[in-house]
Amino acid sequence: MNSLKEITTAGLVSRLEKKDTVVVDVRPVDAYNGWRCEGEERGGHIPGARSLPEKWLRYMDWIEIVRSKKILPDQKIIVYGYTPEQSGHVADALLKAGYRDVSVYNRFPDEWVRREDLPLEKLARYRQLVSAQWVKDLISGEQPPEYDNDRYVICHAHYRNREAYLSGHIPGAIDLDTLALEDPATWNRRTPQELKEALEQHGITADTTVVLYGKYMDPDNNDPFPGSAAGHIGAIRCAMIMLYAGVRDVRVLNGGFQSWKDAGYPVDTEDVPKKKVKDFGREIPARPEIIVDIEEAKEMLRAEDAELVSVRSWREYIGEVSGYNYIEKKGRIPGAVFGNCGTDAYHMENYRNVDHTTREAGEIEALWREAGLTPDKHLAFYCGTGWRGSEAFFNAWLMGWPRVSVFDGGWFEWSNDPDNPYETGEPEGKAKVIRQK
């Protein structure tokens, strides 16, 4: 390891507002989001810091990841982590990659965190995005941090693919077919009575802590495939519907089953029986504002303080493809803002990190703001049938944005009505912003 320059706390404070300086947090993404992963007094990250976990050094395209985050060789880079070894490892890699001005800040855990006058930022609802370690503590009978319930259910979500569950899951997890909560005829959430019965069948009440995760599945053959995210999108779709129904404590494993595997934790193949409960315990939907239907979506298109956000791929948005073999019409809803999920209907890479964890909130927010999407507006995210829209919604909800929803019917419902207008081709103006990024 090269000899590294060290910066003091005062030196770091003096550089925080400098445009040529980038502060890099190399701790796990969960620590960056706000979890006190090493038992520190306060959680969160240095304001404006970028998340670049040491773990990502294992990826062959690591330097491309760094540059995609606009961390560039002509900037002054300040690296910090939990230990000098952690920050030094990443700083040394940056120097070897041609970054000229790299220094390390090694006083974060024992000085920055302990000084109340030094600010920390965190994801508003970071508690609802948990780590593999948190889940392991939960199932081991230990008390995980920031959890005070005595009843929980862990759900391995899948779409008509119990083999994905039976081939390996988190010990104690039950399987949850997304069709339990979705109507296969419309792909919208099921009726309140059907949701009530489904949740009760899965042992879930309004006061149950529910932890959801999925595997990354190849949409062609349903085998685990790291390049896709369909399985875990389904888990987040179920999380959104549970929030809508009224489950008070819904949590998602950050990175899904991949994070569990990366941590080296044991995997089980037992078919864990579901423990039915008598009553959900709350009127459904307890939070109806989380989902909008087509008439409200049309009202939002006319409103000055609302936006429909199309979380689809560029080719879907401009009408080159419909995205689905069961959706014939191609195009977009006129007036919808482009939210760019990624390459196609089964991927969400523009909302994910390389290890499938949720992308840092600041990056997503910056793209949204450039496209005119701001937290003072009512935003309804949609895609083809609600899955990708649910994940974008979940990101905004984690960020604490106050008026966010899912347009449940999405392009499937909109395009099925011949009276509804639609557009094709490249739009002008703000719709191009996220595409260009």
Active site residue ranges: 383
Exposed/middle/buried for 403, CB within 10 Å: 0-12, 13-18, 19+?
middle
Task: Indicate the length of the chain as a whole number.
Answer: 437
- Residue 429 region by backbone torsions, left for phi larger than 0, else alpha for psi between -120 and 50, else beta: left
Distance of CA 234 to the CA centre of its chain: 12
DSSP sequence for 101-129 = EEEEE--IIIIITT-TTS--B--TTGGGE
Q: Are 314 and 436 in contact (CB under 8 A)?
A: no
Q: Which has the closest alpha carbon to 385: 237, 244, 273?
A: 237
Non-local (6+) Cβ contacts of 271 within 8 A are 165, 166, 175
Q: Could you tell me which of 2, 23, 171 has the C-alpha nearest to residue 97?
A: 2
- Ramachandran area for residue 37 (φ above 0: left; ψ -120 to 50: alpha; else beta): alpha
CB 73 within 8 A of CB 99: yes
Helix (H) or strand (E) holding 378: strand 378-382
Helix (H, G, I), strand (E, B) or coil at 437: coil
CA neighbor of 374 nearest in space, from 425, 337, 319, 340: 337
Non-local (6+) Cβ contacts of 85 within 8 A are none
